Amino acid sequence: MALIDARPFPLSFEPATTALIVIDMQRDFIEPGGFGAALGNDVRPLQAIVPTVRRLLDGCRAAGLAVIHTRECHEPDLSDCPPAKRDRGTPALRIGDHGPMGRVLVAGEPGAEIVAELTPRPGETVIDKPGKGAFYATGLAEILAVLGARTLVFAGVTTEVCVQTTMREANDRGFDCLLAEDATESYFPAFKAATLEMIRAQGAIVGWTATTDQILAALDA
The predicted-structure confidence for 149-161, as pLDDT tens digits, reads as follows 999 999 999 999 9
Mean pLDDT of 41-50: 98
Query: pLDDT tens digits, residue range 169-187?
Result: 999 999 999 999 999 999 9
Are the C-beta atoms of residues 165 and 133 closer than 8 Å to each other? yes
Q: Which of 162, 176, 177, 192 is catalytic?
A: 162
pLDDT at position 15: 97
Query: pLDDT tens digits, residue range 69-126?
Result: 999 999 999 999 999 999 999 999 999 999 999 999 999 999 999 999 999 999 999 9
- Active-site residue, 58 included: no
Q: Which of 28, 129, 182, 192 is catalytic?
A: 129
159 closest CA partner among 95, 209, 98, 112: 209
- Active-site residue, 128 included: no
pLDDT band at 216 (very low <50, low <70, confident <90, very high): very high
- Active-site residue, 73 included: no
Q: Which of 24, 28, 128, 176 is catalytic?
A: 24
